């Protein structure tokens, strides 16, 4: 389907939070279930739940119910010239069914050279390729085996690996590599049980050209000698989507006792300055929501082609450089990725239908962290912007896609990420907080994170826990019916909390007065406005503005040359929708220098609405394509052609 945007705000607002999946999109995949196993249990929300086998991962071929992988040991050589990873994956497993004789793994575009168990080659077969699930690798096991060693290599087109040429990096001298496994891309660089309900510890040896440094979502020693062979260990069991690797001319700068930043040298100081509150965020979060379980918390700043805002890879979040604004205005992204250390990485969704358990809790915690570190005003502004993001998606998405526990059978989880699991999830939790009081709700969260630590849980397990705790203790304030409405029905329940911000009221007044013509652009008293207020000012403009109005705004506020990527995004979108040509050079530069899908997709989409716009979109896309991540290419190529 084509998302129909009603007001400009609908296009731009997902700016201040964000995560691995900060694009808001939808596609027209069919809803055909590809696993016909049906749970016939009757419930009050059968319309959405009916026929879903709760807890079954419809996006994996693996058989963890019979044989579960518990540990991975990787030994990979990074070959930049061939754009492949080549080596071995040893998988240790545990038999849940003692009679099971076959281990089934997920793969995509992998070449399997051989498989051994107990030192002997064993038979294996690779099934036909499914368009987005890849192919099942079935391995015949000797009765006594508890481990297999798979010799394999990746394809240059692996969906989870991006290879950048030296020209595509800031330093221009060395190539760069990063992986992005969420949702189901780990299988494109490691044969494994690629399901969030399979948790494993891992070790890895990564061999690279000597001039480069490898880092992983594991123990990273900031003092590591740069010798081309790097050893990693992740002692806590994690789901496959959190396995991550990056290789490049990376350098490290400490930001605190437990926090630091890795990046190319050219942006290291700017990144460390921008994100210097990370240590305070970590301390504040621990104080409110319990201990941090992962030892260090470092950031890896990627080149601009990183398709997302951030990815919560444990111990080492991967971060877009587009949030380095010089004024910490976009650092809620860091709060978000850090919060995932609790919600998502410690307590994990069992299937992609349950993603809201990861993202809704994380978005809720993000607001709380921002409030603790930056105060009430910022908290309120970000809550209003988040609510507007949510409304934009509610207005744009079909009813079924507005459901938190979304039915993803037959669909690629990449295609249906939206603000629903994030902002609707957070608004739901905010309602619980407001009903039972913050202190009680925080106690509940502490208990929740402790009870389900290092487990992968379903929506239904969460509801059942809620029934045993908050619902029981506060039955006068909460009802199961209302909770189920939030989780299993489209839209937003009536009388949901509506965040407000005084800082935005003055922006509304200024915008209204300017639109009415009672004040001129240069009379708007915006000297003290922060980035959030500018975004709110722009994103709530009417759909149509005159060329004179646009030129006035641009002249007074230099919006076309804004250095803040979010403000620039909002302005460029307005410019496309009103065909304001003085902004088009910047637009072209923007589209060809940034690969973060959330920032480029709405622009491509708006351009593609007119024949002239489409020509501009095609030109920019053709130029930028080689530098875009495969996910950004996939998300945009459809409507540009
Ligand atoms: Zn997230």
Say if residues 458 and 404 touch (Cβ distance below 8 Å): no
Catalytic residue among 337, 380, 382, 423: 337
Catalytic residue among 5, 58, 367, 422: 422
Q: How far away, in angstroms, is 356 Cα from ligand 1 center?
A: 9
Q: What is the Cα–Cα distance from 490 to 498, expressed in whole angstroms?
A: 18
Look at residues 573, 509, 588, 498 and name the one whose alpha carbon lies nearest to residue 543. Answer: 573
Distances in Å between the Cα of 136 and the Cα atoms of 74, 103, 145, 214, 291 are 20, 10, 20, 29, 38
Q: Which residues pair with 92 in a beta bridge?
A: 71, 147
Q: pLDDT digit string (tens) for 340-381?
A: 999 999 999 999 999 999 999 999 999 999 999 999 999 999
Q: What is the Cα–Cα distance from 58 to 70, expressed in whole angstroms?
A: 21
Q: How far away, in angstroms, is 363 Cα from ligand 1 center?
A: 7
Q: What is the Cα–Cα distance from 231 to 546, expressed in whole angstroms?
A: 59
Look at residues 354, 359, 307 and name the one whose alpha carbon lies nearest to residue 337. Answer: 359
How many beta carbons lie within 10 A of that of residue 120, not counting itself? 9
φ, ψ dihedrals at 257, nearest 5°: -60, -40
Look at residues 309, 332, 336, 331 and name the one whose alpha carbon lies nearest to residue 320. Answer: 309
Cis preceding linkage at 183, omega within 30:
yes
Mean pLDDT of the chain: 92
Q: pLDDT digit string (tens) for 512-534?
A: 999 999 999 999 999 999 999 99
Look at residues 149, 152, 206, 209 and name the one whose alpha carbon lies nearest to residue 179. Answer: 206
Per-residue pLDDT at 23 exceeds 80: no
How many beta carbons lie within 10 A of that of residue 28, not counting itself? 9
Q: How far away, in angstroms, is 340 Cα from ligand 1 center?
A: 7
422 is catalytic: yes
Q: What is the Cα–Cα distance from 227 to 211, expressed in whole angstroms?
A: 7
pLDDT for res 297: 98
Distances in Å between the Cα of 187 and the Cα atoms of 133, 243, 439, 588 are 9, 11, 42, 35
Predicted TM-score (pTM) above 0.85: yes
Kindly give the interhelix angle for 355-374 and 278-289, rounded to the nearest 10 degrees.
Answer: 110
Q: How far away, in angstroms, is 422 Cα from ligand 1 center?
A: 7
Mind spelling out the 3-state secondary structure of 496-551? CCCCCCHHHHHHHHHHHHHHHCCCCHHHCCCCCCCHHHHHHHHHCCCCCCCHHHHH
Q: How far away, in angstroms, is 421 Cα from ligand 1 center?
A: 9
Look at residues 199, 77, 137 and name the one whose alpha carbon lies nearest to residue 454. Answer: 199
Q: pLDDT digit string (tens) for 252-305?
A: 999 999 999 999 999 999 999 999 999 999 999 999 999 999 999 999 999 998
Per-residue pLDDT at 87 exceeds 90: yes
pLDDT for res 25: 40
Q: What is the Cα–Cα distance from 213 to 265, expressed in whole angstroms?
A: 12
Q: pLDDT digit string (tens) for 209-228?
A: 999 999 999 999 999 999 99
Provide the token pair at 516.
């009415």
Phi-psi region of 437 (alpha: psi -120 to 50; beta: other; left: phi over 0): left
Q: What is the Cα–Cα distance from 11 to 569, expressed in whole angstroms?
A: 10
Q: What is the Cα–Cα distance from 176 to 213, expressed in whole angstroms?
A: 10
Q: What is the Cα–Cα distance from 498 to 358, expressed in whole angstroms?
A: 23
pLDDT for res 20: 57
Read off the pLDDT of each residue in 128-149 and give the average, rounded to a whole number: 96
Q: pLDDT digit string (tens) for 55-84?
A: 999 999 999 999 999 999 999 999 999 999
Helix, strand, coil shares of the chain, percent, nearest 5, are: 40, 20, 40
257 is catalytic: no
- pLDDT confidence band for 30 (50 / 70 / 90): very low
DSSP state for residue 174 in the 8-state scheme: S
- Among 60-69, 167-176, 318-327, 520-529, the range scoring the smallest mean pLDDT is 167-176
Q: How far away, in angstroms, is 575 Cα from ligand 1 center?
A: 30
Read off the pLDDT of each residue in 591-616 and give the average, rounded to a whole number: 96
Continuous segment of H or E residues that includes residue 104: strand 102-107
């Amino acid at each position: 389907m084509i998302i129909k945007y009603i007001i400009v705000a609908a296009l731009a607002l997902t700016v201040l939070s964000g995560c691995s999946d900060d694009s808001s999109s939808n596609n027209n995949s069919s809803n055909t279930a590809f696993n016909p196993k049906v749970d016939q249990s009757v419930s009050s929300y059968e319309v959405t739940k009916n026929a879903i086998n709760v807890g079954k991962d419809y996006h994996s071929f693996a058989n963890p119910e019979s044989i579960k992988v518990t540990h991975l040991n990787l030994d990979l050589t990074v070959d930049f010239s061939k754009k492949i990873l080549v080596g071995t994956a040893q998988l240790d497993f545990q038999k849940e069914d003692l009679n099971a004789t076959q281990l089934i793994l997920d793969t995509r575009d992998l070449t399997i050279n051989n498989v051994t168990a107990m030192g002997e080659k064993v038979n294996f077969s690779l099934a036909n390729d499914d368009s987005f699930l890849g192919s099942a690798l079935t391995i015949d096991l000797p009765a006594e085996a508890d481990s297999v060693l798979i010799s394999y290599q990746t394809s240059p087109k692996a969906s989870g690996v991006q290879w950048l040429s030296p020209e595509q990096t800031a330093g221009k001298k060395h190539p760069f590599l990063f992986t992005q496994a969420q949702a189901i891309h780990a299988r494109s660089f490691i044969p494994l049980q690629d399901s969030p309900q399979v948790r494993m510890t891992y070790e890895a040896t990564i061999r690279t050209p000597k001039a480069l440094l490898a880092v992983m979502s594991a123990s990273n020693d900031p003092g590591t000698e740069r010798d081309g062979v790097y050893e990693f260990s992740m002692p806590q069991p994690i789901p496959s989507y959190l396995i991550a690797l990056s290789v490049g001319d990376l350098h490290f700068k400490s930001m605190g006792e437990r926090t630091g930043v890795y990046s190319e040298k050219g942006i290291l100081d700017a990144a460390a300055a921008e994100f210097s509150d990370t240590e305070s965020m970590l301390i504040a979060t621990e104080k409110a929501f319990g201990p941090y379980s992962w030892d260090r918390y470092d950031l890896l700043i990627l080149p601009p082609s990183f398709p997302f805002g951030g990815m919560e890879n444990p111990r080492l979040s991967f971060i877009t450089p587009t949030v380095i604004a010089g004024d910490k205005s976009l650092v809620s992204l860091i709060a978000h990725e850090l919060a995932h250390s609790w919600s998502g990485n410690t307590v994990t969704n069992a299937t992609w239908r349950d993603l809201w358990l990861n993202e809704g809790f994380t978005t809720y915690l993000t607001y709380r962290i921002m409030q603790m570190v930056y105060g009430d005003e910022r908290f309120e502004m970000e809550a209003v912007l988040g609510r507007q993001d949510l409304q934009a998606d509610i207005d744009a998405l079909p009813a079924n896609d507005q459901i938190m526990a979304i039915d993803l059978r037959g669909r690629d989880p990449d295609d249906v990420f939206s603000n629903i699991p994030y902002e609707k999830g957070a608004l739901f939790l905010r309602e619980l907080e407001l009903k039972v009081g913050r202190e009680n709700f925080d106690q509940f969260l502490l208990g929740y994170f402790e009870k389900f630590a290092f487990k992968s849980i379903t929506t239904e397990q969460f509801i059942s826990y809620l029934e045993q705790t908050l619902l029981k203790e506060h039955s006068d304030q909460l009802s199961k019916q209302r909770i189920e409405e939030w989780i299993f029905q489209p839209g937003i329940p009536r009388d949901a909390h509506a965040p407000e911000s005084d800082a935005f009221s003055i922006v509304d007044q200024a915008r209204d007065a300017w639109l009415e013509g009672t004040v001129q652009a240069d009379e708007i008293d915006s000297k003290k406005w922060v980035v959030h207020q500018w975004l709110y000012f722009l994103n709530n403009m009417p759909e149509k503005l005159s060329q004179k109005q646009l030129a006035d705004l641009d002249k007074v506020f230099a919006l076309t040359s804004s250095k803040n990527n979010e403000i620039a995004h909002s302005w460029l979108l307005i410019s496309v929708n009103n065909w304001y040509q003085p902004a088009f050079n910047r637009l072209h530069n923007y589209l060809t220098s940034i690969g973060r899908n959330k920032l480029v997709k709405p622009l491509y989409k708006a351009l593609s609405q007119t024949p002239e716009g489409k020509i501009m979109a095609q030109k920019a896309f053709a130029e930028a394509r080689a530098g875009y991540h495969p996910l950004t290419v996939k998300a945009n190529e459809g409507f540009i052609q």
